[in-house]
A and B are shown apart, each in its own frame.
Chain A
């Protein structure tokens, strides 16, 4: 495939993700607005829906926090990639920052100096999977700080209940993460695998992904989160979360890592496929 195609596709998926929400996300917010019984909560959901419509109409970012550039790359085993993937995606991020435009959010963690273009050491962050085929599928998943800052990892005692920890985290921190939330949960693995599972849970929530996941458990857990009554923006109401996905991995018999990655209602993503013949956005 051509490097220029991947750069163009990167600009296009970031622009799409920042300015229009996936249909399934809008459907869930609309459904919540229809069923919410708290008038103040309903006013927040209506403002969110008006905001989403304005962003799509004016082609402007839904939220001023255009996030850090996180991408999911599904690379076909037979794909021909005669260039540096990371550098090509970074070039797309720099162009999108100028063209969409995006807010420059990436700073050095110690000096706090802004790199100015959303790239730098570790950025963009690429989640890479090898899959069948000869194409590359790229998904932009820009992650804002409001919900990321409220996410949490714990190394629990195996006797503890991991879902209880998730509920406590949502009570403690969920109101500041711009609810209604999408909740990605990773249980098991190691200190670093649990949060990767939680992030992947968010990426796969629309149902397109694979990975072990228990739909019945997730439905029941979503109901338990909404029974808390934290509500949109933490102001009280029936709608605290719009989706839950739980991914698990084996862990050491002495360990119980659990990570909860919170995603605000602006669950932004867009995908494109790049092949030898060019690229197409979904």
Chain B
């Protein structure tokens, strides 16, 4: 099933999304990777409000406030912060590779959406720079405020009911490995 959503997202939006569905998102989204998450943990807050937010695990390539290339980074590095971001109201975590170790922390409140890894050029056509916070962290690690327009295809990879496509693929790979 296909969905077109606009941020801020609600819990109802999230609960309508099922693993394997495709989503295109419009509205404000925030980039956050290792250092922004570490700051959230140490300070307990970020310069932007996260209620209903879509958080994008991305270290973009930006020049003169133009998005040049902005695909996802590997989400497993940020899995350890899942409880904090969901507690702050984040409804959609966007990235690649999943956060299987922290699946329980989505707690029917949030979903994990997969953007195809490496597709930075495609993303550049659907994202505009609105602003930046924590710029002192450097281009890749700063918190960029982006305006998304029909940003996708995002695969619902981990849904609010607990289905996790990465775990399913991995379990079947483990079974196939034993058989081979």
Contacts and interface: CB of A to CB of B under 8 A. Distances in A.
Given A60-B68, A62-B69, A235-B157, A47 B97 contact: no
A171 B177 contact: yes
B119 A47 contact: yes
Given A60-B68, A65-B59, A50 B139 contact: no
A58 B117 contact: no
A47 B116 contact: yes
Nearest to A103: B61
Given A228-B177, A234-B98, A103 B118 contact: no
Given A63-B69, A167-B177, A48 B170 contact: no
Contact of A103 (B97, B140, B157): B140
B22 interface: yes
A230 B173 contact: yes
A158 to B, nearest CB: 22
A229 B118 contact: no
A200 B63 CA distance: 33
B172 A236 contact: yes
A224 interface: yes
A231 interface: yes
A255 interface: no
Q: How large is the interface on B (under 10, 10 to 19, 20 to 34, 35 or more residues)?
A: 35 or more
Contact of A175 (B58, B63, B166): B166
B61 A66 contact: yes
A48 B115 CA distance: 11
Nearest to B98: A234
Contacts of A61: 61, 68-69, 120-121
Contact of A236 (B70, B74, B122, B165): B165
Q: Is the interface of B mostly helix, strand, loop or mixed?
A: mixed
A105 B69 CA distance: 14
A80 interface: no
B155 interface: yes
Interface in B116-147: 116-125, 138-140
B153 interface: yes
B52 interface: no
Interface in B159-174: 165-166, 168-170, 172-174
A103 B172 contact: no
A104 interface: yes
Contacts of B97: 146, 175-176, 178, 233-234
Nearest to B141: A114
A237 B70 CA distance: 25
A168 interface: yes
B120 A171 contact: no
Contact of B117 (A43, A168, A233): A233
B122 to A, nearest CB: 4
Best-buried of A44, A50, A176, A265 by chain B (most CB within 10 Å)? A176
Contacts of B177: 167-168, 171, 228
A165 to B, nearest CB: 12
B120 to A, nearest CB: 4
A237 B166 CA distance: 11
B120 A64 contact: yes
B82 interface: no
Interface in B82-107: 96-98
B121 A55 contact: yes
B74 to A, nearest CB: 5
B42 interface: no
A144 B118 CA distance: 10
Given A64-B120, A229-B176, 18 more contacts: A48-B119, A60-B69, A60-B124, A62-B120, A63-B69, A63-B71, A65-B120, A101-B61, A101-B68, A104-B138, A105-B140, A114-B138, A145-B74, A178-B97, A227-B180, A228-B176, A233-B155, A235-B166
Interface of B: 20, 22, 58-61, 63, 68-71, 73-74, 76, 96-98, 114, 116-125, 138-140, 153, 155, 157, 165-166, 168-170, 172-174, 176-177, 180
Closest 7 A/B residue pairs (Cβ): A176-B97, A178-B117, A55-B121, A64-B120, A64-B69, A51-B122, A51-B119
